Amino acid sequence: MSETLLVIDEGTTSTRAMLFAADGKCIGSQAAELTQHYPAPGLVEHDAAEIWDRTFDCTKAMVEKAGGADKIAAIGITNQRETIVFWDKTTGEPLTPAIVWQDRRTAQMCRDLKAAGHEPTVQARTGLLLDPYFSGSKIGWAMANWPQLKEAGDRLAVGTIDSWLVFKLTGGLHVTDATNASRTALMAIGSGHWDDGLIDLFDAPRAALPEIVDCAGKYGETTLFGAPIPICGMAGDQQAATIGQACLDPGDTKATFGTGAFVLTQYGAKQPTSKNRLLATIAWQLGGRRAYALEGSVFVAGSLIQWLRDSLKLIATAQDTEGLARSVADNAGVYLVPALSGLGAPWWEAEARGSISGLSFTATRAHVVRAALEAMAHQAHDLKTAFAADGADWKTLRIDGGMVANDWMAQDLADMLDLAVERPAFAETTALGAAMLAGVGCGLFKDLQAASAMRGEIATFEPDMMDDTRQTRLNGWENAVKSVVASA
C-alpha cells in the first residue's frame, strides 16, 4: 500500500493541493489564487466553477508529481467553512455565486431572528449564535432571493465547499463531514443530525442538504486522475488545524492566523456551553462519536495585511510588515481595529466597521503597519479573557497559518498573552490535519494519536514584556474597540 497522502486545502483566497509522506514531510505543493468578488459593501462571493477548475488543476499536478494515482493512498479535504454553494445535481454546475463565510448580507435577518427571541434556542441546539457568519441564514437568503434555486426543484444541491468538491471528484456523492455541518446552524450539535426545527427557522431546503458523515473513513473515490483514489478524510479548516497541531486532549489550544483568526480549545466528549459569546463546535467525529471544542472566531487577520498591500499600498509584500514593525519602538498611540467585515468573538457586531485611531504627526507608515500586527495579539487577548471566563483558560498557545512566519508577531502574541507560544516548523497544519485524517481513514494510522507523529518540531516564544507596558496597550485597545462598537 502506498503511504503518500494527497490533501486538497481549499482556502478563502487560494486553493492548494499538497503531498505528504507518512512522517509528515510535505513532498509537493501546487497552489492557485481564487478571485474574490465584492458586489456591494459587506457582500463577498466566489465562483464555485472557478474553485473546482483550479482545484482540479492543482490536484492533477500533484497526482503527476506522485507518479500517478496508484501511488496515492488517499485524499484528505479541508476547506473554508460556512461558505455555501448551490448547484444542479444533474448538470453538476453551480446555479449561483457561492456566498463566502465573510459575507454580511443576512445581518438584518439575524437581527430580526434575535429580536424575535430565537438566539437562545439556536445556541442551545447548535452551539452557535445568530450571525451572518454561519451558513443557515445564507441559505435562507438565497432561497428567497435567487428564484433559480426553487426552480431547480429536486435537482438542487446545497453544501459547503467540502460537499462541492466531493460531488465533483466523485461525480455525484453528496456528503458533508460533521465539522462542516456543525457550522451551518442547521445541525443539532448533540446528535450530529440535521435539525428540522432549525431547517424550518432558516427556510432551508431539507432535501437538498448532504448526508453527514465522519471526518475519517472511506466515503467514495475519484477516477478523474487515471486510477481510483479513495477520499478518506474531511474537516473544516479550523478543526483540521486543531488536529494538525495535535490538540487531542482537553485543554489543548491552537490559534490559526489565516484570512481570519480562529482559536479552538479541545473540550473532549463533553459538549461545552459558553456564557461569554464563544462558540461550541465539533472538533471531529470518528466512528459516530464526537469530540467537541470551544471556539473564538476573528473575521479579519491575514486579510488585513492583504488590504494594507492591495488597497492602501502601505506595503509591497506581507513580509515587509516585520521589518516595519521592528523599525519603531512602539505604536505611537496608533490603534487599528480590523472590523472590515464586522467584529467576531467576543463582540459579534456584524455592522461594526474598522478604524485607525490615535493618529498624530508622530505617526508614520511603520506605526500603522505595526498597529495592524498588534491587532492580532489584542484580538487574541480579548478571546483569552472570554475563554478564561468560560473556565477554559489557555496554558500555552499553539499557532499556525500564513501570518505566523512573522517572528515579531509570534513574540508579540507571547508578550501580550503572557504565556508560551508554540510554532511548529511546518506551519501549514490545516493541510497536515487533513492528511492525518486521511491516513486514519485509509488505515495508514490506527488513530489520531498515532497520526500526530506527523506534527514534527516546534519553536517556542516566551513572554518578555513588562506588565505596565502590556496594560497600557490593552487600555488603548479597549478604548479603540469601544468606539467602533458604539458606532455600529
**Is 427 part of a structural domain of the chain?**
no
Cβ-contact 258, 14 below 8 angstroms: no
Q: Which long-range contacts (CB under 8 A, 24 or more apart) does 309-312 make?
A: none
**Is 338 part of a structural domain of the chain?**
no
350 pLDDT higher than 80: no
Summarised one tens digit per residue, pLDDT across range 328-346 is: 999 999 999 999 888 887 8
250 pLDDT higher than 70: yes
> Residue 401: its pLDDT value, please?
84
**Is 346 part of a structural domain of the chain?**
no
> Residue 294: its pLDDT value, please?
92
236 CB neighbour count, 10 Å cutoff = 31
> Residue 70: its pLDDT value, please?
92
Q: Could you give the CA distance from residue 80 to residue 232 in angstroms, rounded to a whole number?
A: 18
Cβ-contact 285, 235 below 8 angstroms: no
Q: How confident is the model at residue 260 (pLDDT cuts 50, 70, 90)?
A: confident
Full DSSP string of 339-398: -BTBB-TTT-BTT---EEE---TT--HHHHHHHHHHHHHHHHHHHHHHHHHTT---SEEE
Look at residues 391, 388, 212 and name the one whose alpha carbon lies nearest to residue 284.
212
- Helix ranges restricted to H, 390-428: 407-417
**Is 468 part of a structural domain of the chain?**
no
> Residue 222: its pLDDT value, please?
96
Summarised one tens digit per residue, pLDDT across range 166-205 is: 999 999 999 999 999 999 999 999 889 999 999 999 999 9
**Is 214 part of a structural domain of the chain?**
yes
Q: How confident is the model at residue 277 (pLDDT cuts 50, 70, 90)?
A: confident
> Residue 110: its pLDDT value, please?
93
Q: Could you give the CA distance from residue 114 to residue 116 in angstroms, rounded to a whole number?
A: 5
51 pLDDT higher than 90: yes
> Residue 428: its pLDDT value, please?
84
1 pLDDT higher than 80: no
Cell of residue 276, nine digits: 461569554
Q: How many domains does the chain have?
A: 1
> Residue 142: its pLDDT value, please?
96
User: Residue 176 to residues 173, 459, 469, 486: CA-CA distances in angstroms?
Assistant: 10, 35, 47, 39
- The CATH number for 42's domain is 3.30.420.40
> Residue 66: its pLDDT value, please?
93
249 pLDDT higher than 90: no
> Residue 156: its pLDDT value, please?
97
How large is the average pLDDT for residues 300-327? Answer: 94
Q: How confident is the model at residue 21 (pLDDT cuts 50, 70, 90)?
A: very high
**Is 389 part of a structural domain of the chain?**
no
How large is the average pLDDT for residues 280-309? Answer: 91
Q: Could you tell me what percent of the chain has a pLDDT over 70?
A: 100
Q: Does 250 sit behind a cis peptide bond, omega within 30 degrees of 0 on the bond before it?
A: no
Summarised one tens digit per residue, pLDDT across range 101-152 is: 889 899 999 999 999 999 999 999 998 989 898 999 999 999 999 999 999 9
Domain limits for position 135: 4-237
User: Residue 430 to residues 189, 300, 381: CA-CA distances in angstroms?
Assistant: 22, 18, 23
Full DSSP string of 359-372: --TT--HHHHHHHH
Cell of residue 205, nine digits: 431546503
Mean pLDDT of the chain: 93
How large is the average pLDDT for residues 409-430? Answer: 93
Q: What number of CA atoms fall less than 13 Å from residue 11's CA on the CB side?
A: 23
> Residue 488: its pLDDT value, please?
59
Q: Could you tell me what percent of the chain has a pLDDT over 90?
A: 75
> Residue 299: its pLDDT value, please?
84
- Least confident range of 4-8, 373-377, 396-400, 401-405: 401-405
**Is 129 part of a structural domain of the chain?**
yes
> Residue 457: its pLDDT value, please?
85
Q: Could you give the CA distance from residue 377 to residue 382 in angstroms, rounded to a whole number?
A: 9
Only one residue has cell 454580511, namely: 104
163 pLDDT higher than 80: yes
**Is 258 part of a structural domain of the chain?**
no
